[in-house]
């Protein structure tokens, strides 16, 4: 089984292993498959931090991140824990926005994750 891609679903890894080495997997039971699945899941979880569960945790994580663009600019321009605002924008993009007369905005709230969507509804 190839474990190089930690983002691949455990079921795909198990199915690929079953197809490539059927002689090894003929005696597997449902419990064995479940144990392999859980092992792959735990291994993948150990590589990534826990996902934030509320807006305060998100703001704390964003304060620690140093996300840079290809041009080596900070991508997170403002993290305001008092007003609960995170601004994803570079300084050069902000200057460009300030220099134009009209701005067209397309907002897709359906693409916002649940935590942010519920935050938007509660404010």
pLDDT, tens digit, 9 for 90 and up, residues 113-123: 555 555 545 44
* Distance in angstroms (rounded) separating the CA atoms of residues 30 and 35: 9
Residue 118: predicted pLDDT: 53
* Torsion angle, alpha carbons of 5, 9, 10, 16, to 10: -80
Say whether pLDDT at 4 is over 80.
no
H-only helix segments in 7-90: 10-20, 22-25, 30-47, 55-64
Q: Is the pLDDT of residue 109 over 80?
A: no
Q: What is the pTM of this model?
A: 0.46
């Amino acid at each position: 089984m190839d474990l190089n891609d930690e983002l691949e679903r455990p079921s795909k890894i198990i199915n690929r292993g079953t197809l490539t080495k059927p002689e090894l997997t003929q005696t597997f039971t449902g419990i064995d498959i479940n144990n392999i699945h859980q092992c792959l899941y735990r291994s993948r979880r150990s590589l990534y931090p826990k996902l934030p569960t509320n807006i305060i945790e998100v703001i704390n994580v964003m304060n620690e991140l140093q996300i840079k663009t290809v041009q080596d600019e900070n991508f997170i321009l403002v993290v305001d824990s008092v007003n609960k605002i995170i601004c994803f924008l570079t300084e050069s993009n902000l200057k460009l926005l300030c220099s134009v007369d009209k701005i067209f905005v397309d907002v897709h709230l359906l693409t916002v994750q649940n935590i942010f969507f519920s935050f938007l509804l509660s404010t």
